[in-house]
Structure 1
Amino acid sequence: MKRTLLAVLGAISLSACAQAPEADATGTPLKAPVVSSPMLPATPEPAEGTPEARALAAVRTLNPNLQPEQIGAAPLPGFREVIVSGQVVYVSDDGRYMFLPGQGGALYDTVSERSLSEASLAGLRRDLLKTIPASERIVFAPANPKYTVTVFTDVECGYCRRLHSEIAEYNQQGIAIEYLAFPRMGIGSEDYNKMVAVWCASDRKQALTDAKAEKSVPEHDCKNTVSMQYNIGQRAGLTGTPMILTEDGTQVGGYVPPAALRETLDKLAAEKAEPAAVGNAAPGGNAAAGG
């Protein structure tokens, strides 16, 4: 979750290929003008024990090297407004909660170090994924997978290609990959047509592997669910590919290397098991029953 928040703040890359940029009437992508500006002095450290100091400490739970440009009163009571890496973050005066508005934003609890928004989003994603038949997924799985993840993918995305080139390593880590289509350039694009050809191929796994290796896949059209998968990806909040989702709908990437993904999935499983273990513990510990 920290990686996602840092990506929103512009502090790191989520290792994902973005959707197609806006274009002009001729289809040429619009480019922002390059503007140079002088370096500004760093914001002074706020006085210890103040709401501003707690806000700064909260932001730095994500990354101790983050340097805000501005900290001040927020337009809503009980919060400070922090501007960091060109993004606005609202932090509760006690420093516990951070709210990142806008696309990809979240309400983050700095004590439990989790997104309070993610649970709702995960539930939505889980329900959306259930609407896609298993027969419409392209699956690469080991014999007895420990975990199964859904990956929204695009055949032309560099990070998607990198992930697929390591598919055997994911399987060796006990991870099954279930691919869904998300042509980043949009429905009707050349990218979309390539993905339709993959999903209409008699051997989808080989066709997907060939397409990601820039090999020719015979054009073929059929009744398919590529558009449906694309629309579900948008409704699930996808902003770039690959997007990796756990079975309960939690987003764990962006591109994540095989060993790191296994580590993340193990951690999530342990966190989920911990409350259950506490709830099942008998009051008073393990004292033996008297006779």
Structure 2
Amino acid sequence: MRSIRFLIGACFALVIGAVHADDAEKTIRQSLGGLGQDLPIESIAKSPLNGLYEVQLKGGRVLYASADGKYLMQGYLYQMQAGADPVNLTEQAESRGIAKVIAAVPLEQMVVYPAKGETKGHITVFTDTTCPYCHKLHGEVAELNRQGIEVRYLAFPRQGLDSPGDQQLQAVWCSSDRRAAMDQMVSGKKVSAAKCANPVAEQFALGQSIGVNGTPAIVLGNGQLIPGYQPAPELIKQALAAQ
């Protein structure tokens, strides 16, 4: 179980009262709007904890607010269970949000390596062709496919737009055969492709919005975000369990 992170020196007060949910949502939106941060709010709803509202941001991240909008916090909300590990409700909510965002990306905008035979699960990988651990993961794609796991790539130039990785990823996405271009680029061969309208910058922004800050970043079918490389046997187990 992931270690519980405590907020040291912070005090959070809940204002519990008979506040109608619609009124609370309106109040919270007004309060957060006054921060001047232009928070991309996806939804506001009651959380499992009485008096606390869950603020889902676009991209999956979650904040919590009191019904009157006077108190705001960021952190993990756990459900304690007798005889079992605590359940991280915040992580579950964020995963659902991430899954929704990823599901909205059309497959034709990805580089897809389909499963061999029956498709038992899938993973979505934010990748950079200049990333050594992305190369290591790519070397195991064939095994993932053999085990029924479809691998879907999204572009994430880890050194930013206009970096060498960005140029390489654009060449892959502008190629007539993206899978062949990805294989060649990862193996160190140069790929030449005419410039085209491509989703690399958009996918880079999408990755940032869900908390990706390095590559490879793996999103399971249930939206769980795994930062960094995972060996194929472990990744297969996680992918199958996440469906």
TM-score with structure 2 setting the length: 0.65
1:153 corresponds to 2:124: no
SS of residue matched to 2:196: coil
Report what 2:105 is aligned to.
Answer: 132
State the distance in 2 between where 1:72 and 1:153 align: 33
Q: CA deviation at 1:131?
A: 3.0
Between structure 1 and structure 2, the one with the greater Rg is 1
State the distance in 1 between where 2:196 and 2:8 align: 57
Report what 1:168 is aligned to.
Answer: 142
Q: CA deviation at 1:119?
A: 1.9
For residue 264 of structure 1, what is the amino acid of its counterpart? Answer: Q
* Residue of 60, 75, 83 corresponding to 2:10: 75
Q: CA deviation at 1:148?
A: 0.9
Write out per-residue CA displacement over residues 63-82 of structure 1, whole angstroms, 9 at most, x where no aligned residue.
xxxxxxxx99743279xxxx
Cα–Cα, structure 1 residues 77 and 158, in superposed 2: closer, same or farther, change >3 Å?
same
Q: CA deviation at 1:120?
A: 2.2
Report what 2:162 is aligned to.
Answer: 188
For residue 125 of structure 2, what is the amino acid of its counterpart? Answer: V
1:260 corresponds to 2:234: yes
Report what 2:92 is aligned to.
Answer: 119
- Aligned pairs, number: 179
Report what 1:21 is aligned to.
Answer: none
1:229 corresponds to 2:164: no
Structure 1: tracts of 5 or more residues without a match? 6-57, 60-70, 79-103, 270-291
Report what 1:10 is aligned to.
Answer: none
State the distance in 1 between where 2:186 and 2:237 align: 26
SS of residue matched to 1:129: helix
For residue 140 of structure 1, what is the amino acid of its counterpart? Answer: Y
* Residue of 173, 177, 182 corresponding to 2:151: 177
Contact 2:220 2:238 in 1 (8 A): no
For residue 241 of structure 1, what is the amino acid of its counterpart? Answer: T
State the distance in 1 between where 2:8 and 2:210 align: 33
Cα–Cα, structure 1 residues 210 and 105, in superposed 2: closer, same or farther, change >3 Å?
farther
Cα–Cα, structure 1 residues 212 and 266, in superposed 2: closer, same or farther, change >3 Å?
same
1:250 corresponds to 2:185: no
* Residue of 200, 207, 227 corresponding to 2:181: 207
Contact 2:127 2:217 in 1 (8 A): yes
Cα–Cα, structure 1 residues 227 and 218, in superposed 2: closer, same or farther, change >3 Å?
same
